[in-house]
């Protein structure tokens, strides 16, 4: 997915020798979490809005040099890695550098998410299924085979959680009924975290539970 045309150049970059007056104004007037700092035009790091309470207009950025956070991407960085960089640094803005460590501009998280939402994963009709399994047991080739063996199309899949050696995978499937797909996943020892309300397995459990409750009340 091409995202380079999302680079914005209307967000300021501050030299380390400048006073914090304009930096304070920038953070007070925007919702950005960080802003880039350079020294003689070369990227040094990102100044965080979290330090705003410590800023004084008469001080220079230099006095916060050792508080700078050093994260960035380059034009060639893939969009998934860009999203990961946003997440890893708790930032809603990312500087984009060239090969000489010069800031070309920024990626705005809101813009990148908008591009992501415009992909077929979100736009094409289909159903969402969330499955989980052991981190050593899953493979995307197996997941695709399970979906396609039920005459459904796998529109996209990505890991949305990983904890205690268990991974959670979110799937977008081009089908209106997930029943056969979910049954196959269960036969392959996947747990179903979320699926459409027509999941026959859950419906069967509910019916059996209702029957047992009526029996015990006789």
Q: Is 47 within the bounds of a domain?
A: yes
Take residue 161 and report the two structure tokens written for it.
């959680």
59 with 151, same domain: the answer is: no
Q: Is 210 within the bounds of a domain?
A: no
The pLDDT value given to residue 206: 57
Domain with 161 in it: what CATH number? 3.30.70.260
Quote the CA–CA distance of 139 and 151 in Å, as a whole number.
19
24 with 125, same domain: the answer is: no
pTM (two decimals): 0.67
Quote the CA–CA distance of 58 and 204 in Å, as a whole number.
70
111 with 14, same domain: the answer is: yes
Q: Is 147 within the bounds of a domain?
A: yes
- Choose the weakest-confidence range: 101-105, 137-141, 179-183, 210-214: 210-214
Q: Is 183 within the bounds of a domain?
A: yes
Tracing tokens 């380390």 back to the chain, one arrives at 16
Phi, psi angles (nearest 5°) of residue 208:
-65, -35
- Any residues with CB less than 8 A from the CB of 169 and at least 6 apart, and which? 130, 131, 132, 133, 138, 143, 157, 158, 159, 160
Take residue 125 and report the two structure tokens written for it.
């009709």
CB 133 within 8 A of CB 166: yes
How many domains does the chain divide into?
Answer: 2
92 with 149, same domain: the answer is: no
Q: Is 168 within the bounds of a domain?
A: yes
132 with 28, same domain: the answer is: no
108 with 143, same domain: the answer is: no
Q: Is 92 helix (H, G, I), strand (E, B) or coil?
A: coil
Domain with 84 in it: what CATH number? 3.10.580.10
Tracing tokens 């790091």 back to the chain, one arrives at 45
- Is residue 1 over pLDDT 70? no
- Any residues with CB less than 8 A from the CB of 22 and at least 6 apart, and which? 12, 14
Domain with 15, as residue range(s), is: 4-116
Give the residue from 73, 31, 23 showing the smallest Cα distance to 51.
Answer: 23
Task: Give tens-digit pLDDT for 160-193.
Answer: 888 888 999 989 898 767 888 999 999 999 999 8
152 with 104, same domain: the answer is: no
pLDDT band of 61, cuts 50, 70, 90 = very high
Which H helix or E strand runs over 95? strand 93-97
């Amino acid at each position: 997915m091409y995202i380079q045309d999302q680079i914005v150049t209307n967000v300021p970059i501050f030299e380390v020798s400048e006073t914090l007056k304009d930096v304070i104004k920038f953070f007070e007037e925007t919702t950005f979490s960080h802003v880039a700092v350079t020294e003689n035009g070369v990227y040094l790091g990102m100044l965080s809005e979290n330090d705003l309470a410590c800023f004084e207009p008469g001080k220079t950025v230099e006095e916060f040099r050792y508080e700078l956070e050093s994260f960035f991407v380059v034009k060639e960085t893939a969009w998934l890695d860009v999203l990961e960089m946003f997440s890893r640094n708790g930032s809603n803005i990312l500087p984009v550098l060239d090969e000489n460590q010069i800031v070309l501009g920024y990626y705005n998280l809101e813009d990148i998410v908008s591009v992501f939402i415009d992909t077929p994963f979100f736009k094409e009709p289909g159903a969402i299924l969330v499955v989980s399994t052991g981190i050593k047991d899953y493979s995307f080739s197996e997941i695709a085979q399970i979906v396609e063996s039920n005459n459904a199309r796998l529109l996209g899949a990505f890991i949305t959680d990983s904890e205690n050696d268990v991974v959670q995978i979110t799937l977008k499937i081009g089908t209106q009924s997930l029943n056969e797909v979910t049954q196959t996943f269960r036969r392959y020892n996947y747990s179903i975290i979320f699926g459409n309300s027509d999941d026959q397995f859950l419906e069967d459990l509910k019916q059996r539970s209702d029957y047992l409750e009526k029996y015990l009340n006789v």
